[in-house]
Amino acid sequence: MPLNNINTSFSHLKLEIDTTSHASSSNTHADTSKSKSMASMSKFLNCFAPMNSTDSPKTPHSPSTPETPETPTTPDYVAMIGKKRIQNSDMKRSLAQLIDRFNSSDDPYKSTAPKPAEFTIARSLEKKDRSLFAHNALSDDEFLGLNLYTSALYRPINQHLRYEAKADTAPVVDAMISGMNKLAKIPDYRVDQTVYRGIEKRMTDQEVQQRFQQYSIYSDSAFISSSLDEAEAAEFIGPVQLQITPVTAIKAEEFSDWPDENEAIFKPNTQFFVDDVTKDDNGKTWRVKLTEVDDVIADFVKNR
């Protein structure tokens, strides 16, 4: 029974008890013990009547007392989370180095006014604490890795995996994979529909055909972001659009800084069978159909 229905039932029962108790007071002394018993029950039910009741009026705030904001103001994140929690693991310390390195780089995707690493970490942990699911399902390290990957930090993370390994990034990648493995066991976070990915990088026809050879296996050493929404993916479209049938992709909405993107993420080195490679009639866009496969099928295709 919904909680508000329970409260309503308690209120009706309380009314009946109060009425009975009032009537009993005008009867003989023999009913006194019954009245006391009913009054005690009424007092007991009073404990439940206000609980989350939709009918209970809310006490208005005093004009001199501002309402407490749902999230802390900018300077409060670090104080709210506490420096000890921000720095209490090797992963968090590595993440702080990664953030500082990215902020001092010339990457065009970094913020024009980057925040200190401890602020970025504290804000992410505050987001985790506001999510009942994330608070219970993922460790701090796992949530931090996944959440901050959905920010511009995906760039140094994937650069580490594709091109140049960095000591400060490896613990972040490990935490992300650990979190994704946990979420993969929860049906609501597995993806059971086609996802889409637009590749912005300009590629020649020869480069496309070399990377996506029909009836071969394609994989990427980095995390792959995609969208459940084809229209959303189209905003990132370049010369190549991928249409992927997933198996292990994880929905990112719960931990993403951009939940409206309907992002789904694949782990590094996920393998895909290239079903089809075609070019639009306009001659501008390649469309590649991929199906995620396991290691057994991938090895069979590679060795045939």
- Rounded Cα gap, residues 80 and 100, in angstroms: 21
111 touches 152 (CB < 8 A): yes
Mean pLDDT of the chain: 80
pLDDT band at 42 (very low <50, low <70, confident <90, very high): very low
- Rounded Cα gap, residues 81 and 268, in angstroms: 31
CA distances from 204 to 211, 220, 235, 242 (A): 11, 19, 20, 16
Highest mean pLDDT among 5-14, 52-61, 178-187, 251-260: 178-187
What pLDDT does 41 receive? 44
- Rounded Cα gap, residues 176 and 173, in angstroms: 5
**Amino acid, single-letter form, for residue 33:** S
pLDDT digits (tens, 9 = 90+) for 139-159: 999 999 999 999 999 999 999
What pLDDT does 235 receive? 67
What pLDDT does 54 receive? 37
Q: Which residue from 117, 88, 87 is spatially nearest to 102, judged by alpha carbons?
A: 117
- Rounded Cα gap, residues 134 and 112, in angstroms: 29
Question: DSSP secondary structure string, 122-186?
Answer: HHHHHHHHH-HHHHHHS-HHHHHHHHHHTTTTHHHHHHHHHT---TTTHHHHHHHHHHHHHHTTS
Retrieve residue 156's tokens: 């140094």
pTM of the entire predicted model = 0.72
pLDDT digits (tens, 9 = 90+) for 79-116: 888 889 999 999 999 999 999 999 999 999 888 778 89
**Amino acid, single-letter form, for residue 203:** M
Mean pLDDT along residues 220-240:
82
CA distances from 33 to 3, 9, 21, 24, 97 (A): 32, 25, 11, 10, 72
249 touches 191 (CB < 8 A): yes
Mean pLDDT along residues 247-275:
94
Task: Please enumerate in sequence order all residues whose Cβ is within 8 A of that of 282, keeping only pairs 6 or more positions apart, or say none.
Answer: none
What pLDDT does 236 receive? 61
**Amino acid, single-letter form, for residue 29:** H
- Rounded Cα gap, residues 294 and 18, in angstroms: 68
Retrieve residue 9's tokens: 């039932």
Q: Which residue from 226, 221, 220, 232 is spatially nearest to 265, judged by alpha carbons?
A: 226
